[in-house]
């Protein structure tokens, strides 16, 4: 049996010659095709692979890659019409490393168009559905990468995380979502959304697998100036370290139950109740967990600051999509009209809205008040968290205030009540902090997750802490056992 | 009469191995799209990696132009849509340019004019577009080549000043070795901003911009044409329109577009390039490598060595020649002779052989050796120059040649007398003509003979004296 097996289990089967990598690939391929109609995880499903056996923990292991990583000779669309026929000529560093490790690419996964969005509903090839409940979203933007791991099609997949695009869909899909410190993994070949916030992230079904994949992907890359020097650590080596006395904090203004006591949102109340019970379990493990208070105004600035910065950078980063060098050529009487037409037809309304917002905040007359103030707010938030990190080893919070939303619910919970609960994950993007989401329980038969974020460079400690917490949940290696298929 | 105010924006491509933010070669090619990396095409997912050498050369140039240098290197994005800009933005410097508030002194009509530099920044060149009636083609060879832009203050007041500044600026690039600055390859280009105002007015007139002029004589033509055009309009009481004009082949300028509002380029700091601190030590090290520039050398030659203005200007014009000349006189040889040799024999040889001075076989040391022979009176200037040409031809050290061929000048009185006596004895008829008929042409005959028989080694002045003495002696002795 292949489906639902984690990396270590598959590796063992390979080593014991119980299975061949051809068989693993065929199983993954079969599952990918089987679930495609119902869940729409993939833009492209590959029916063959071209990698050799390597001396690596990932050799022979099937995986999926978000469709915003450049893969030479393989269609890469970013789920946008403006790139619907784009076949890159070069490989992203991440893809190169995975090829070199002998991992088997099963497919390129659907994302919210150009990685902008958190619903998994805005791809040009249709919505991605949540494996635990087809009527619910998986979240985004790394929607397909989350769903294919949650369906058990592959043991790991690669996504990108600019605000929470790995960690949120991981939470809704009941899988582990990890983004290491900014610069730990090269972004070269990842289609830029907001360069100062963009991270490569990893989906797996347990913390150890996330460490295995990170060990392969991390490292300095001369092609990405922001990559860090190699830390020469193997994160899998320190997973079992003693965590007694490690200090975590949660933010009162985000998840103190008192704040929501008059709410009639039973999902929210149950999520918070289970979160605090989970904290007690962690305390029993030896963690010291304390509540801290942060100026609410500062926290309320996270979402608007994120929108200002990410849209501003996105406007510029996507200015190459004009249909001139590549992509569908627009029509018109002059070059401006041609580019205008290509962009008008090539982007959905959501994208145009973000570009207009980004352009607006960068305009000379607005820039100081909007864009630069957003950058200042970002700095203040990061400074505050770093100040707390002087005393604590990490921040622990519910990844979301609820379970995966249904398709008919409002796509973004923008009311005051949810503003902080639904948007705090961007803190880790602001500061480049390593951050991991792990499932720990269920509400209404849907998985819920907690998020831990640590100081920069402490990826190893974060994985170590998450690994220990995972051990007291019943959610290690879970996947949605849907479908009538035996693979 | 109107006062003319000109500001220049000069672009110059830097000479580096690779492009400013990619590993594609920085080379000129007539074959389109030969030197192109993914980064230069703006493909999705590409990231810029700045060229250290380009940063260094930009800083170095800013330093030579007496600019203030920043404490860190950072870049900004300039956002606009145009097909020659594949990323949709240009990486440039706004927040912290490589240089600010500098100047370059130039010599116009014998007077020093200080041209103030507003700023110098490093950016990347765009692709080149070629337009045809029904389509346009894009050549990405140029896309991403490191480019410095130098913006002057509006302090230039004539076409002469503008052109002299451009020429001298190009010499700065050449002296520093940062660029070949070939305007025919588009490596150096210039935008001219020009406005006219009434002489008594303090307020600047309406600015007209002329973009992308390659050749310096076109800069002159454009400025002269604009002064004439705008003067005529102002004379008639008409207003100057703020616009961008281009210079055509007929030397006239034509309106391209009216400038309604300045374009908002929505600059912001390039997030993919972390800032790099520039240490004081680094700047000092760089500063210590700054060569003396043209004008400084020119004045040094005049004031320190008493060289004529003309020769000083010839010797300071090119760094390699100036360096050569300075190496020659460093050995302590005669400056006057060094000037003579370099400005005549050496330069004409370079011309004749079409080589650079670095390719010349004769090293400054060798030349100094020859000069010393002349200076010590061991050799005539004439003979020395002939010898030098021979040494160049045969690619041998001229001093060795002198020794080998025993070509030293004969100054010894007895040796010369012996030779001359022998010649006179062999030509008694010529002696007779002098003695009996007073024929003075005999003197020239014997000089000629002496030089010939001595392989041109006889000291001509001394020989002349001895010949006259000897002829007089024979006349008196009857």
| CATH number of the domain encompassing residue A263 | 3.90.1300.10
pLDDT at residue B304 greater than cutoff 90: yes
pLDDT at A426: 98
**Is ipTM > 0.90 here?**
yes
Of the pLDDT bands very low, low, confident and very high (cuts 50, 70, 90), residue A355 is very high
pLDDT at B185: 83
Give the pLDDT confidence of B171-225 residue by residue, as tens digits.
999 999 999 998 888 899 999 999 999 888 888 899 999 988 988 999 999 999 9
Token pair, residue A223, equals 């092609």
**So what's the pLDDT on residue A49?**
92
Domains of chain B plus CATH, in order, are 2-282 (no CATH), 292-404 (no CATH), 413-477 (1.10.10.410)
Does residue A71 surpass a pLDDT of 60? yes
pLDDT (0 to 100) of residue A294: 97
Whether A185 and chain B come into contact, CB under 8 Å, resolves to no
Subunit contact B47:A312, Cβ cutoff 8 A: no
Distance from CA of A39 to the nearest CA of B (A): 27
Q: What is the overall mean pLDDT for chain B? A: 92
Task: Write the pLDDT tens digit of every residue in B235-279.
Answer: 999 999 999 998 888 888 888 877 666 789 999 999 999 999 999
Q: Does residue A73 sit at the B interface (CB-CB below 8 Å)? A: no
Catalytic entry in A70, A79, A141, A400: A141
Q: Is A66 a catalytic residue?
A: yes
Tell me if chain B has a CB within 8 Å of the CB of A175: no
- State mean pLDDT over B151-173: 96
Using a CB–CB cutoff of 8 Å, tell me whether A8 touches chain B: no
Q: What's the pLDDT at B478?
A: 62
Other Cβ atoms within 10 Å of B341 Cβ, number: 25
Over the stretch B33-60, which tens digit does the pLDDT of each residue have? 999 999 999 999 999 999 999 999 999 9
Q: Which residues of A466-479 are buried (b: 16+ CB within 10 A; e: fewer)?
A: bbbbbeebebbbbb
| DSSP result, B245-313 | EEE-TTS-EEEEEE--S------EE-TTS--EE--HHHHHHHHTTPPP-HHHHHHHHHHHH---HHHHH
> Chain A: nearest CA to B264, how far in angstroms?
7
Q: What's the first-to-final CA gap in chain A, in angstroms?
A: 6
Asked if the Cβ–Cβ distance from B88 to A318 is below 8 Å, we say yes
- Over residues A47-60, the mean pLDDT reads 93
Mean pLDDT of A436-449: 98
Phi, psi angle pair for B32, to nearest 5°: -65, 150
CB contacts of A191 in chain B (<8 Å) are: 44-45
Contacts of residues B357-365 at CB distance under 8 Å and 24 or more positions apart, as own/partner, are B357/B318, B357/B320, B357/B321, B357/B324, B358/B320, B360/B392, B361/B391, B361/B392, B361/B395, B362/B388, B362/B391, B362/B392, B362/B398, B364/B324, B364/B325, B364/B327, B364/B328, B364/B330, B364/B331, B365/B327, B365/B331
Instruction: Mark yes or no for CB contact B83/A315 under 8 Å.
Output: no
Strand order in the sheet with B76-79: B89-92, B76-79, B268-269
Whether A78 contacts A111, CB under 8 Å: yes
Check: CB of residue A143 under 8 Å from CB of residue A168.
no
pLDDT digits (tens, 9 = 90+) for B388-407: 998 998 888 998 888 777 66
CB contact under 8 A, A188 and B45: yes
Give the pTM: 0.90
Please say if the pLDDT value at position A102 is more than 70.
yes
Least confident of A60-74, A170-184, B47-61, B233-247: B233-247
The number of domains in chain A is 1
Q: What pLDDT, on the 0 to 100 scale, is given for residue B89?
A: 98
Q: How far is CA A221 from the centre of its chain?
A: 21
pLDDT at position B291 over 60:
yes
Compute the average pLDDT of residues B91-99. Answer: 98
The H-or-E segment that residue B146 falls in is strand B146-152
Q: What does pLDDT average to over chain A?
A: 96
Q: Which residue has the tokens 């967990």?
A: A289
Measure the CA dihedral B112/B118/B120/B123, to 10°. -140
Least confident stretch, A4-18, B335-349, B400-414: B400-414
Look at B88 and A322 and tell me if their CB atoms are within 8 Å: yes
Per-residue pLDDT at B260: 60
- Position B84 scores a pLDDT of 93
- pLDDT at B462 exceeding the cut of 90: no
Q: Which of A223, A358, A368, A373 has the highest number of chain B CBs within 10 A, making it the mutation to test binding with B?
A: A223
Q: Of B210, B193, B190, B212, which is closest to residue B128 (Cα–Cα)?
A: B212
Candidates B21, B33, B41, B47, partner chain A, best to mutate (most A CBs within 10 A): B47
| Contact between residue B357 and residue B324 where contact means Cβ atoms under 8 Å apart | yes
The two tokens of residue B420 are 């001359």
B interface with A, Cβ–Cβ < 8 A, is 38, 41-50, 77, 79, 81-83, 86-89, 136, 138, 264, 266, 268, 271-274
Which residues from A are below 8 Å from B138, CB to CB?
A: 324
In the prediction, which pLDDT does A56 show? 95
Helix (H, G, I), strand (E, B) or coil at A63: strand
- In total, chain A counts a number of residues equal to 487
Residue A160 appears among annotated catalytic residues: no
- Give the model's pLDDT for residue B406: 66
Q: Which of B41, B12, B11, B8 is nearest to B24 (CA)?
A: B41
A379: Cβ contacts below 8 Å, ≥ 6 apart: none
Contact B126, B85 (CB under 8 A): yes
The per-residue pLDDT for B460 is 84
Locate the chain A residue with the closest alpha carbon to B262. A364
State pLDDT tens for residues B11-33.
999 999 999 999 999 998 889 99
Dihedral sign from CA coordinates of A110, A113, A117, A120: negative
CA B161 to chain A, closest CA, distance in angstroms equals 35
CA A211 distance to own-chain centroid? 15
User: Which domain, by its residues, includes A70?
Assistant: 1-487
Write the pLDDT tens digit of every residue in A128-170. Answer: 999 999 999 999 999 999 999 999 999 999 999 999 999 999 9
Percent of chain B past pLDDT 90, that is, above it, reads: 69
Cα–Cα distance, A115 to A194 (Å, whole number): 10
Which band of pLDDT confidence, cut at 50, 70 and 90, is reported for residue A311? very high
């Amino acid at each position: 049996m292949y489906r639902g097996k984690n990396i270590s289990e598959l590796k063992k089967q390979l080593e014991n010659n119980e299975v061949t990598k051809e068989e693993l690939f065929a199983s993954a391929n079969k599952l990918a095709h089987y679930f495609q109609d119902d869940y729409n995880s993939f833009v492209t499903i590959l029916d063959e692979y071209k990698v050799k056996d390597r001396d690596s923990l990932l050799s022979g292991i099937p995986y999926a890659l978000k469709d915003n990583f450049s893969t030479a000779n393989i269609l890469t669309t970013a789920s946008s019409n403006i790139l619907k026929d784009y076949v890159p000529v070069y490989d992203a560093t991440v893809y190169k490393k995975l090829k070199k490790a002998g991992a088997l690419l099963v497919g390129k996964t659907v994302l919210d168009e150009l990685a902008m969005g958190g619903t998994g509903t805005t791809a040009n090839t249709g919505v991605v559905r949540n494996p635990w409940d087809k009527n619910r979203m998986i979240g985004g933007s790394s929607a397909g990468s989350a769903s294919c791991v949650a369906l058990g099609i592959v043991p790991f997949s690669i996504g990108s995380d600019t605000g929470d695009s790995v960690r949120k869909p991981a939470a809704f899909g009941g899988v582990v979502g990890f983004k290491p410190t900014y610069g730990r993994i090269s972004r070269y070949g990842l289609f830029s959304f907001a360069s100062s916030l963009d991270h490569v992230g990893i989906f797996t079904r347990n913390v150890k697998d996330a460490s295995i994949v990170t060990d392969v992907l991390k490292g300095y890359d001369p092609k990405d100036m922001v990559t860090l020097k190699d830390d020469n650590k193997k994160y899998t080596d320190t997973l079992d370290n003693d965590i007694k006395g490690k200090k975590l904090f949660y933010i009162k203004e985000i998840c103190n139950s008192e704040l929501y006591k008059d709410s009639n949102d039973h999902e929210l109340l149950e999520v918070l109740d289970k979160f605090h019970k989970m904290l007690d379990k962690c305390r029993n493990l030896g963690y010291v967990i304390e509540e801290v208070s942060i100026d609410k105004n500062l926290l309320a600035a996270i979402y608007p600051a994120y929108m200002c910065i990410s849209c501003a950078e996105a406007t510029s980063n996507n200015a190459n999509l004009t249909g001139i060098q590549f992509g569908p050529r627009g029509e018109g009487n002059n070059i401006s009209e041609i580019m205008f037409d290509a962009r008008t037809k090539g982007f959905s309304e959501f994208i145009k809205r973000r570009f207009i917002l980004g352009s607006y905040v960068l305009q000379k007359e607005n820039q100081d008040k909007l864009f630069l103030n957003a950058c200042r707010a970002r700095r203040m938030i990061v400074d505050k968290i770093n100040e707390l990190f002087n005393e604590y080893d990490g921040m622990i919070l519910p990844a979301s205030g609820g379970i995966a939303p249904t398709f008919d619910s409002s796509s973004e919970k923008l009311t005051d009540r949810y503003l902080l609960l639904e948007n705090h994950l961007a803190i880790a993007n602001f500061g480049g902090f390593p951050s991991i989401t792990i499932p720990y329980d269920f509400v209404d038969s849907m998985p819920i997750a907690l998020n831990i974020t640590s100081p920069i460079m402490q990826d190893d400690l974060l994985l170590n802490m998450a690994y220990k917490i995972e051990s007291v949940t019943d959610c290690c290696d879970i996947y949605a056992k849907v479908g009538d298929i035996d693979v | 009469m109107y006062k003319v105010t000109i500001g220049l924006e000069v672009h110059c491509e830097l000479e580096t191995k690779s492009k400013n933010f990619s590993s594609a070669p920085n080379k000129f090619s007539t074959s389109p799209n030969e030197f192109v990396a993914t980064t230069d095409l703006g493909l999705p997912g590409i990231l810029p990696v700045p060229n250290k050498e380009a940063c260094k050369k930009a800083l170095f140039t800013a330093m030579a132009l007496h600019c203030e240098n920043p404490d860190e290197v950072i870049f900004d994005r300039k956002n606009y849509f145009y097909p020659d800009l594949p990323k949709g933005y240009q990486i440039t410097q706004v927040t912290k340019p490589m240089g600010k508030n500098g100047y370059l002194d130039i010599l116009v009509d014998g007077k020093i004019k200080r041209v103030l530099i507003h700023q110098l920044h490093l950016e990347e060149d765009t692709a080149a577009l070629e337009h045809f009636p029904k389509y346009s083609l894009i050549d990405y060879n140029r896309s991403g080549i490191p480019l410095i832009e130098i913006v002057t203050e509006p302090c230039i007041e004539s076409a002469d000043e503008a052109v002299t500044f451009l020429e001298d600026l190009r010499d700065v690039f050449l002296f520093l070795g940062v660029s070949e600055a070939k305007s025919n390859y588009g490596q150096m280009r210039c935008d001219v901003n020009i406005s006219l105002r009434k002489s008594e007015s303090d307020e600047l007139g309406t600015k007209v911009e002329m973009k992308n002029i390659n050749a310096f004589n076109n800069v002159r033509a454009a400025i002269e044409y604009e002064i004439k055009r705008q003067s005529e309009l102002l004379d008639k009481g008409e207003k100057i329109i703020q616009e961008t004009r281009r210079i055509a082949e007929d030397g006239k300028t034509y309106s391209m577009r009216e400038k309604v509002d300045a374009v908002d380029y929505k600059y912001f700091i390039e997030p993919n390039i972390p800032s790099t601190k520039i240490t004081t030590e680094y700047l000092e090290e760089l500063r210590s490598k700054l060569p003396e520039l043209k004008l400084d050398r020119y004045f040094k030659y005049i004031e320190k060595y008493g060289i004529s203005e003309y020769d000083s200007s010839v010797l300071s014009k090119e760094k390699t020649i100036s360096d050569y000349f300075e190496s020659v006189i460093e050995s302590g040889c005669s400056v006057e002779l060094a000037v003579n040799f370099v400005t005549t024999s050496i330069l004409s040889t370079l011309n004749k052989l079409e080589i650079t001075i670095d390719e010349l076989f004769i090293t400054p040391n060798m030349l100094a050796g020859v000069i010393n022979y002349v200076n010590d009176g061991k050799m005539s200037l004439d003979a020395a120059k002939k010898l030098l040409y021979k040494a160049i031809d045969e690619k041998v050290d001229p001093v060795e040649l002198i020794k080998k061929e025993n070509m030293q000048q004969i100054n010894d009185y007895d040796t010369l007398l012996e030779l001359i006596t022998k010649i006179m004895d062999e030509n008694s008829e010529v002696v007779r003509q002098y003695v009996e008929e007073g024929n003075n042409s005999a003197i020239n005959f014997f000089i000629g003979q002496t030089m010939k028989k001595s392989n041109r080694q006889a000291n001509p002045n001394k020989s002349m004296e001895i010949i006259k003495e000897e002829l007089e002696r024979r006349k008196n002795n009857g």
